[in-house]
């Protein structure tokens, strides 16, 4: 599955499509465009249970644990004012560097949750199943989790044919909201890391 698709124009009026392209062209004339990504990690700590979580809310370096391996956010919940980011696709990965056998149990619980990309105060477009976007490469030695991580390819990426409709502007708050009807119990010896990765087009002022 392509991470940077170009879809057909069905489902949107010519005026809507032209408005989106015109806005993109105007922004391109004033900014440098970069094909890039944003990522943020939720840590499900050993011995705890959770029913919700928010991602992209903590900046790199905010605490000693928020290193570049967990997030590349420079500000909490917003982009710098001179930047914008158009989300073209996303996927989630699970990782446990201590005990891969944990993932078989916890992944099943996580997968039954729902998530939404919240831009401003609006889910865009709506809540969706976590299990539909779990994929990508990762560490695993247990056969019960190998299907989640695949063979190193990025699997289960959710791509958007009209990415200009999924754009975060500079200083506009955004997050990924995660919800579970049943609490995820991580009664295990080590923590599990759930990372959401956005792939897309970033813009910064020339």
In a domain, 34, yes or no: no
In a domain, 192, yes or no: yes
In a domain, 1, yes or no: no
- Mind listing the pLDDT tens digit for each residue in 143-193? 333 333 333 445 567 777 776 778 898 888 999 999 999 888 765 556 788
- In what helix (H) or strand (E) does residue 145 lie, and over which residues does it extend? helix 143-149
Say which DSSP state 71 is in: B
Whole-number Å distance between alpha carbons of 168 and 198: 11
In a domain, 94, yes or no: yes
In a domain, 10, yes or no: no
Checking if the pLDDT of 6 tops 60, the result is no
What's the whole-number mean pLDDT along residues 98-123? Answer: 80
| pTM of this structure | 0.74
- Mind listing the pLDDT tens digit for each residue in 96-107? 756 555 666 677
Q: How many CA atoms lie within 13 A of 108 on its CB side?
A: 6
What is the count of structural domains for the chain? 1
User: Residue 152 sits in which domain range?
Assistant: 41-83+90-158+172-198
In a domain, 97, yes or no: yes
- Mind listing the pLDDT tens digit for each residue in 41-74? 988 877 778 899 999 998 877 776 777 788 888 8
In a domain, 140, yes or no: yes
Q: Residue 107: helix, strand or coil by DSSP?
A: helix
Q: Residue 187: helix, strand or coil by DSSP?
A: coil
Say which DSSP state 134 is in: B
Whole-number Å distance between alpha carbons of 150 and 10: 32
In a domain, 48, yes or no: yes
């Amino acid at each position: 599955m392509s991470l940077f698709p170009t879809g057909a124009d069905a489902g949107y009026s010519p005026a809507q499509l032209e408005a989106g392209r015109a806005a993109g062209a105007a922004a391109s004339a004033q900014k440098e465009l970069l094909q890039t990504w944003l990522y943020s990690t939720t840590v499900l700590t050993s011995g705890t249970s959770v029913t919700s979580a928010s991602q992209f809310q903590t900046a790199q370096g905010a605490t000693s644990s928020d290193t570049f391996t967990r997030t590349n956010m420079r500000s909490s919940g917003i982009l710098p004012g001179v930047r914008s980011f158009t989300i073209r696709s996303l996927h989630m990965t699970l990782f446990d560097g201590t005990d891969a056998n944990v993932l078989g149990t916890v992944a099943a619980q996580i997968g039954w949750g729902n998530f939404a990309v919240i831009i401003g105060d609006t889910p865009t477009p709506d809540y969706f199943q976590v299990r539909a976007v779990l994929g990508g490469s990762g560490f695993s030695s247990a056969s019960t989790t190998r299907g989640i991580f695949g063979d190193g390819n990025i699997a289960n990426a959710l791509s958007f044919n009209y990415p200009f409709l999924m754009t975060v502007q500079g200083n506009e708050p955004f997050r990924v909201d995660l919800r579970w009807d049943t609490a995820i119990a991580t009664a295990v010896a080590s923590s599990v890391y759930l990372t959401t990765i956005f792939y897309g087009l970033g813009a910064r002022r020339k």
